[in-house]
Structure 1
Amino acid sequence: MPPASTGASTIALDAAAPSPSSPAAVSPAPGSPAAPDRLTPGGPGYRRMSFALFSAGIATFALLYSTQALLPSVSASFGATAGQASWTVSAATGALALCVLPLSALSERFGRRQMMTASLSVAVVIGLLVPFAPSLGWLIALRAVQGAALAGLPASAMAYLAEEVRPKALVAAIGLFVAGNSIGGMSGRILAGWVAQLWGWRVALGAIGLLAVVCAVVFHFMIPKARHFSPASLNPKALAKTVTGHLANPLLRRLYAIGALFMTVFGAVYTVIGYRLVDEPFNLPQGIVGSIFLVYLVGTVSSAAAGRLVARLGRRGALYLAVSTTAAGLLLSLADQLTAVLAGLVLITAGFFAGHAVASSSVSRTATSGRAQASALYQSAYYLGSSAGGTLGAVAFHAGGWAGTVVLGVLAILGVLSITVFGSRAARTERLRAA
């Protein structure tokens, strides 16, 4: 269902507009967003919630990208090209993108907490089976199933936060979840790199599976029960109406595109960087290549700081900063000096995680109803970007070396810039017409 007024849906990122999917969504119950029992920093339950979702974020990214740091070893083991091996990452992210919407609909019926617990549990079990894949085809297939299992967690987590946390604390809360993602991505890759150097990539995948088991147990016992969730019946027509309503909102469409393009850059860079660093002129061993992912700590800081950036610069200004930082990192990484490449990765990581935190929190802020579907659409776009970036980045690397991957990244980040600039102009024009 389209927004209630023409001006409401095209407000600039500094003032996100709601995307109602029902008449009730236009006028939420007075005082409900700021109900005193909603979680707020320093309040009861907030710390447990933060720690639980932080742990879930670690498990999600550690599992989802478990093969990324191991791609050169996987290629050597199966005699595969970079493009073929990259499907062990792209299959997982692509399956997640396709399954996140239907699983988010199930979370509307059975609960966010229940969906997150089930998704994480199934993904962990598959993670313990992945090391035993007898061929590249089996490895890709298991990774696809694992990605599908993980699909229920990200969108449900965003919707859970939007329902349980006070609006003023939402960006910071989502930033902590994204920070857990960055820690998971970092720790999983570092652990995989060093274990693979000592005992091979199969043992490395097993170690990541055990890390995810620990995180899943922590999540299960720490996550607070939902207090503001109201179950809805499974209604395909209502779901289609909700999704159509979100897609009819120009602001949400822009946010989905921004998430996809940011993730295209990030997926391309981190899928290919291992191949670059184990080859001339760097010739780094697998363990050192895995340690390169320590730069994810920068993503932890930038995503957690997204709320302060928005408060100081506005949402649009924060996106401009994220775009410029990412672009500078891409260009700097072209140098054949290890320090320059590392500095470039730091900038790319900081820019990506800041941009992702701003865009994803804007989606949750915009959708006043059907939040799980709104977040699911963002996650679908986001992980489709990851899948496309990983495969296209590997193809570009095969065709033009690291410079080819950088060109792909620059084109994607220019897309983010154009959407932000022209979207803001369209919003101003629409407001003037409505005045």
Structure 2
Amino acid sequence: MRISAALADRTPARPVSPPVPSHGTPRMTRAMPEYRRASLALFLSGFATFSLLYCVQPLLPVFSDAFGITPASSSLSLSVSTISLAIAILFAAPLAERFGRRELIFAALLASSVLNIAAGIAPDWTVMLVLRALEGATLGGVPAVAMTYLAEEIEPAELAAAMGLYIAGNALGGMIGRIGCGVLTEYVGWRAAMGLMGAVDLAAAVAFIVLLPRSRHFLPRGRLGARYHMTAWANHLFRSALPAVYLTGALLMGAFVTIFNYAGYRLTAPPFDFSQTQQGLLFSVYIFGVGASSLAGILSDRIGRQRVLPAGIVTMMTGILLTMTASVPVIVIGISLLTIGFFASHAVASGWVGRLAKTDRGHASSLYLLCYYMGAGIAGSAGGWFWSSWRWPGITGFTLAMLTVAMGAALWLAERVRRAA
């Protein structure tokens, strides 16, 4: 695969003043108030997306008891959302080219919040899965479009830091969604917990639309046609180094979600006997992901993504190995390292998409997120088979195997970038 020198991952020299595109509108830099508003708005969009998507994760054992289903079936409440989100992302990219970034993200957050409230009153498991699938589909309008907005509107030398903050919103949303639902379930029940989470994210959607500046580097392109979109996706898949990034994202997310899906089953059983509140509080380790994603973005601009990404994967693998012990403090340390490594790696990989894709960035982002969420949905449910057959050693072996392949893809990409440079 031939990669031009334009793909080299080198930090551009910081200009004295913001670069001005051909139409005379500067891109946002940290010195501008618009940059801070956009960063906060996209932070909120990431918060809402992940809190809605993952609020059911600490409830998987609860669903098994409430609906009389197996762990693998219970995990479908998360998997159907992530898979439908992944598929919807492919449709979100063309829609965003026609209707705009800001409006599509707001509509997606609004609809998803309402569907989460509805899922909290689902009368049976089938209705629950249908509502969760619809929720994932509407959330598909957020991730790829948000990444594309940042790539278009932020000055390239400062893109990684802005992307890191967006990923930090993902981490915080995932943490609050999991902890909130886990703790509230013990006191008010899982139905009220899901309803309250939907209400919080309705407020986040309103704050998003108020804060986010309108796009200044996007022009609607109307009806581009199916051939245009297929060509754009094919170019990213077969004429660039991006497939290595896509594979890495899928495996990272698959391993991360699998660990958290089945940690609850392990920790609520003997000899640990965690309560629902204790299990929910375990997700407080996500706070480390908030800092790790932001730091990884800054380090990527300074020393290069090809160094930061493998380090993040090694950190994840170390954390998983530590969870094999029977000591609760060591398990918590292991899950903390897993979280730090994951969010650092995801921030680097997602930022790399914007750097390697020179055209049709919305399509490039949609492919990354398609693989990312498909990895979560498929591996998250497949982990149920490993749990049922071999318990935690099976989960450990499964996730370490995925991360080994991810490391190979990351090193391959780093070598190609080094040669291009």
- Shared topology, TM-score over 0.5? yes
Structure 1 residue 311: Cα displacement: 3.5
Give 1:223-238 correspondences, 5 Å limit. Answer: 223-234=212-223, 235-238=225-228
Distance (whole Å) between structure 2 residues aligned to residue 253 and residue 269 of structure 1 = 25
Pairwise CA distance, 1:94? 0.3
Encode CA deviations 1:335-374: one digit per residue, 9 max, x unaligned: 0111111001111000000110000010011112211110
Distance 1:291 1:98 in 2: 31
1:160 maps onto 2:149 in alignment: yes
- Partners of 2:302 and 2:35 lie apart in 1 by 24
Q: Please state whether the residue corresponding to 1:336 is helix, strand or coil.
A: coil
1:342 corresponding residue in structure 2: 332
Q: Residue 8 of structure 1 aligns with which residue?
A: 4
Q: Which residue of 1 aligns with 2:87?
A: 98
Matched, 1:260 2:256: no
Which amino acid letter does the alignment assign opposite residue 401 of structure 2?
L
Given the alignment of the two structures, is residue 241 of structure 1 paired with residue 237 of structure 2, yes or no? no
Verify: 1:274 aligned to 2:270, yes or no: no
- Shift of the 32–368 alpha-carbon distance from structure 1 to 2, 3 Å rule, reads farther
Cα pair 1:266 1:389 within 8 Å, conserved: no
Structure 2 distance, partners of 1:311, 1:149, is 33
Q: CA distance change for structure 1 residues 424 and 188 in 2, over 3 Å: closer, same or farther?
A: closer
**Structure 1 pair 69–9 and aligned structure 2 pair: CA distance change class (3 A):** farther
Distance in 2 of aligned mates of 1:10 and 1:94: 33
Q: Secondary structure at the match of 1:270?
A: helix
Structure 1: gaps of 5 or more residues: 17-29
The residue correspondences of 1:320-399 to structure 2 (distance < 5 A) are: 320-399=310-389
Range moving further from structure 2, 304-313 or 373-382: 304-313
1:194-219 Cα distance to aligned partner (Å, 9 max, x none): 11001211111111111111111111
**CA positional deviation for 1:33:** 9.2
Deviation per CA, 1:233-263: give whole Å up to 9, x if none.
2211111111111111341000000100100
User: Letter of the aligned partner of 2:111 in structure 1?
Assistant: V
* Superposition TM-score, scaled by structure 1 size: 0.91
Which digits, 9 at most, give the CA deviation of each residue in 1:117-150, with x for residues without a partner?
A: 1111111111121111111111111100000000
Question: Kindly tell me: are residues 35 and 304 of structure 1, through their superposed partners in 2, closer, same or farther at Cα, counting changes over 3 Å?
Answer: farther
Do the aligned partners of 1:96 and 1:148 also contact (CA within 8 Å) in 2? yes
> What amino acid sits opposite 1:110 in the alignment?
F
Q: Say how many residue pairs are matched.
A: 413
Distance (Å, rounded) in 1 between the aligned partners of 2:234 and 2:10 = 22
Distance 1:319 1:140 in 2: 35
CA RMSD of aligned residues (A): 1.9
Alpha-carbon distance between aligned partners in 2 of 1:150 and 1:270, rounded to the nearest angstrom: 21
The Cα offsets for residues 176-209 of structure 1, whole Å up to 9 and x where unpaired, read as 1110011000001111011100121111111111
Distance in 1, matches of 2:121 and 2:343, equals: 33
Instruction: Give the CA deviation at 1:297.
Output: 0.4
For 1:98 and 1:279, the matched residues in 2 are separated by 35
1: CA distance, partners of 2:143 / 2:75: 22
- Residue 19 (structure 1) aligns with: none
Same amino acid, percent of matched pairs: 37
Answer whether contact 2:20 2:26 (CA < 8 A) is retained. no
Which residue matches 2:98? 109
| Alignment partner, residue 289 of structure 1 | 279
Q: 203-212 vs 87-96, which deviates more?
A: 203-212
Instruction: Pick one of 178, 194, 203 that aligns with 1:189.
Output: 178
How far apart are 1:38 and its partner, in Å? 1.3
Match of 1:26 in 2: none
TM-score, scaled to structure 2 = 0.94
Partner Cα distance (1:394, 1:305) in 2:
33
* Deviation per residue, 1:260-288 (Å, 9 max, x gap): 01001111011111111111111010011
